Amino acid sequence: MLTIGELSRRTGVKVPTIRYYEQMGLMTAAERSEGNQRRYEPRDRDRLSFIKHARDLGFTIEAIRELLDLSAHPELPCANADNIAVRQLEAVRDKIAKLRLLEQELHRIATRCHGDQIKDCYVIQSLANHDLCKTEH
């Protein structure tokens, strides 16, 4: 049996986050000792590691919930899990595209500034007036 602190150290998940996952229903409520201390089984550590890895890959809480539900049924085909992963991949690619636009706009703004004083600074002017931006970001 693991305490919440031990579980935290072994998984790299902070104690408040473990409690949050319990509140969200991703982790089952821990058994309690006579002193009301949470006690976790190795399967809880494995589940928390799964959740952490999924979060590290950017999966939403709802997607993780779906994946955990699927993992409880090993006899099912993996098409649903594949679809969840593909949705996440598409979301990441969308974020990358937006970040590239943001990078281009920031580069343009930062390299266009040739003023010696703030009153002539293009960075300040462009932040004050979105119409000076080249693209929607």
Look at residue 136 and tell me whether its pLDDT is greater than 80: no
Residue 49 is which amino acid? Answer: S
Percent of the chain with pLDDT over 70: 100
pLDDT, mean of residues 22-50: 91
CATH class of segment(s) 4-76:
mainly alpha
Pairing of strands 31-32, 38-39: antiparallel
DSSP H helices in the chain: 4-11, 15-24, 42-56, 61-71, 79-112, 122-128
Q: Extract the tokens encoding 134.
A: 């080249």
Look at residue 79 and tell me whether its pLDDT is greater than 80: yes
Single pTM value for the model: 0.81
Residue 45 is which amino acid? Answer: R
Three-state SS at 38: strand
Q: What is the pLDDT of residue 7?
A: 96
Q: Extract the tokens encoding 104.
A: 């281009």
Q: What is the mean pLDDT of the chain?
A: 92
Neighbouring-strand partners of residue 2: 40
